[in-house]
Structures are given as structure tokens and as C-alpha cells.
Amino acid sequence: MQISRRALQKSLILFHNIQKWPAALAEEMAQACYVKKDFITEAEEKSLLTEVEPHMKRLRYEKSHWDDAIHLYREREQRKWRDENLDVISRIRSESFGANTEHLTYVHILDLHKDGVIKPHIDSIRYCGDVITGVSLLSDAIMRLRHKDQKDELVVDLLMPRRSLYRLGGPGRYDFTHEVLDETESVWQGQKVPRDRRISIICRDLPKLSNRAIQEEEIKLKPIPEEN
Ligand code: OGA
Ligand code: MN
């Protein structure tokens, strides 16, 4: 079936060279990895910002992550939330995790500078389970997924508009790296996507028991990437 041009333009997932993809893999990716536009309202965005901003302002942007995956960012983890924001966090979790999934109680807040970039990496299986999910505040951005063994052949982009939710699961979690493009690379269907400062509120489920680096209570969420 031919997807209409209109539908394609509205779609938030874009496979590069779809004809080169094994159909089953493309299908699996589209099921497990997606973006939902307007997942939170403007008021909810504002409310989250009011809670996270005062903490963030005290931190300086770091030039580089310890393993070089993230540039110009500041981050923190938060367990306790104001009730109204906790409602939003719960909605993110129930949207993206399966029923009865154990999730990390900490939420990861990543503040990426306008000129910041997240390079290709896979989150460590010791600190995160099958799903990575988050909402984007303040700016649109493009997340690019590349197959770990076919970096230039199997590539798919997710457009993450401000206030949207993204979910990475299935092969998109373990077999693909993810990255957030810088402004020069942020082009969607031929149109530039301006990159401003972006704050992401990221929820992860618990690593499989056998992979856990440390006991649950001690897990301090660090999105330690394994690969570049
Ligand atoms: C990470 C990461 C994505 C985001 O921190 O490991 O990939 O949405 N973040 O900021
Ligand atoms: Mn990551």
C-alpha cells in the first residue's frame, strides 16, 4: 500500500531507504519505537519546568559526558515530585511500560544546551531494562536510531516535537544506537528543525535481574552508554 504524501509528512517516524530494511524489522521498530505528539499540555510543561528549573540553574553545563556521548548538558535525578507532576510521570510510565513492569523510581532529567548534542550510544543494560521513554520540553529535536552493526544502512529518525513523548523498545532499545542531532543536522522532510535548549524527562524500567549491577535500592540512575 502506498502511504499518502500527506500522511508521510505528518508521520513522526522516518525510515531512511526503507527498501533496504527487512520488512519484519521495520514493522517491529515502528511498533516498539514511536512518538506521540502533544502528550503533555502547555500547562503541564510549565509545571514540570517550574519544578526542575531551580535545581538545573544551579548546575553548569558540562562540556562532555565521561564517555563523550553527551556534550553541553546538565542532568540530575529526581525521585519525589509534586503531585500534579507525578501524575504526568505516571502517565508517561503507563503509556510506555507494559503492565506490571518494575520501573526505576528515579526520573532522569537531562538539560541539553541549544548547541548540545547526544551522540550515538546504547544505554547500559546494567542500568536500564527494555524500555526508555521520555517527554521533550522547550524544543523540538530529532532522534536518530542506527542499527549497531549496520550504522549507515539501517537508520530511522524520530521527530520529537516539544511536549511529545517518545518510546524506545524492542530492537530499538538493544540493537540500535540512539542520538539527538545537533541543529545543523536537524532536517525533517527537507525542512530545518530549529534546536533550542531541550529538557527531557526520562523514565526507564528496571534492568533484568541477571543484569543488575547492584541491588535495587542502590541503583542510582546513570544513563551510562555502552557504545559510541
Ligand atoms: C540518555 C539519552 C535522550 C533524551 O540520557 O541516555 O539518550 O531524550 N537521552 O534526552
Ligand atoms: Mn540514551
- Backbone region of residue 197 per phi and psi (left: phi > 0; alpha: psi in -120 to 50; beta: other values): beta
CA 1 to ligand 1 center in whole angstroms: 34
Task: Show the DSSP H helices in the chain as ranges.
Answer: 5-10, 23-32, 42-57, 83-96, 171-174
Return the ligand number nearest the Cα of 65. Answer: 1
pTM: 0.90
- Whether 207 is in the pocket of ligand 1, judged by its Cβ within 6 Å, is no
Nearest of 199, 130, 121, 123 to residue 160 by alpha carbon? 199
2 CA → ligand 1 middle, Å:
33
Ligand 1 contact, 179 CB (< 6 A): no
Query: Is 227 a residue whose pLDDT tops 70?
Result: no
* pLDDT band at residue 7 under the 50/70/90 scheme: low
| 135 C-beta closer than 6 A to ligand 1 | no
Lowest mean pLDDT among 45-49, 62-66, 77-81: 62-66
Condensed to tens digits (0 to 9), the pLDDT of residues 83-102 reads 999 999 999 999 999 888 88
Task: List pLDDT tens digits, range 113-163.
Answer: 999 999 999 999 888 899 999 999 999 999 999 999 999 999 999 999 999
